[in-house]
Chain A
Amino acid sequence: MASLAKTLMIHLRDVQKSYTRGDQTVLACAVDRLDIEPGEQVALIGRSGSGKTTVLHILAGILRPDRGEIEVAGARLDKMGEAARDNHRGRNIGMVYQTFNLLQPFTALENVLMGALFGRGAGGDAKERAMALLDKVGLGDRMHHRPGELSVGQVQRVAICRALINDPMLILMDEPLGNQDKATGGQVLDMMLQVASDDNKTVVMVTHDPESAKRMQRTVDLETLRGDLNVDVSADQKVEASR
């Protein structure tokens, strides 16, 4: 598959996604242009309903836009079938959600291993890698606990480990600190960004929180992406503007 932009991690052009509810069609998101370099840490902001999560799902290959070109980590997602997109997501993208989305019946270690199972495979040294990751985030003694037995901060760290288990090129985070106090959330985000920075991973984070957005290298207001704009804004300005 021909690469549109060999040097870019994310390359979106003229992307649009709508939903049909009854006889109404609702435009969920529209992005004329968005380019993100490898290793960049980008906050994606915008008011509620602006389509931030939809864009994130399109970048992950969970949703297929109605139109437009999408290239993520060297793959043309708009031209790929669902199974190929699933495979691409599992191998190249790590995801962290606001609600953490850990599977309650499984232990912390199993949740992390599940990321490997559906990504690059849970064989080989996957278990050792998962244990090392959990150890690294301070959960070495909690890896056999279920999510219900962990604090919110610990659950978040498990979710981060799961996102990192396949050593992805791209990490997508959807309001990852939304359920935490600022101090804990800040620590976790710093840890995540440090890991990403060390390994030159690209991070795209959807957030409402200006403090979180400030920690990123670049902030992109989703509303500015409609039209010809693809403008870097300071976190302070755009978060204020988006409210």
Chain B
Amino acid sequence: MSPPEVTGDAAGEVRQLVPDVETLAQRLGGVDYLVDEGLATSMFVSLRLPQPLLLEGEAGVGKTEAAKALAAVLDTPLIRLQCYEGIDAAEALYEWNYPRQLLSIRLADAGGEALREDDLFGPDYLIRRPLLRALEHPGPRPAVLLVDEIDRADDDFEAFLLELLADASVTIPEIGTIRATHPPIIVLTSNRTRDLHDAVKRRCLYHWIDYPSPRREVEIIRRRVKGTSEALAVQVANAVSRMRDSDVQKPPGVAEAIDWIAALRLLGVERLDAAAVDRTLGSVLKYGDDQEVIRAAGLEQLVRSGD
């Protein structure tokens, strides 16, 4: 089953903001998220078909940021569902506010009022979790729902999630069916710790985000840490790229490159040399073991020019 079409004004608003791939890429750049053509195209198609977009890639390539940037471009809320092992409908969709129900019962008792069960299972007693909030979003544009690290959730949850999103509605026995008036724009991310269900792959568009090319990474770094010289950004991008090719457990992502630049700038470093790397290595490699690997290979190696 394909997701319901975004109809009426919501679709019109999205179409107006994002008439083509180039405009989307420009607007994403406007919120400092730089995309290559592959990512821009998959995001555009996902928005306009519409179909959920599954993003995969190494940690730190900007999967989560993509959803944030999309929400910023559409000027709509980002609703994030962080997945973890054992996550269930109560955490993702809704649950009843038991403490509040109990309190109401006590108050009613004390005041001698009669309380019906229906009173206790109404909207006021519902705790709305991210999926319900995304379905209930009133517009004018659809919310962006980020289902982050879906590979951490269990198989069953994945199936539940996809079904719910395909229908864009949920039935709460005590209340009835809630149908989304503006079905959310859905971005899922996975770190590939396990294979996803075929159903997910069938229903989603897919894009693998690679590390940015060094040229693009320089651009990203300079956008995110204003005032960074091109020379320093180039040195950092090259050093980070060498770290990714090395034998570290957790290769630095774009976020780490940005952290590193921020640390270097804080220390007033304008040129990367072995001494500067030595002082700041912890800001780019978060594991002690990884720092050892890089030190053992020689910090000079990281900062040599050319390749």
Chain A partners chain B: no
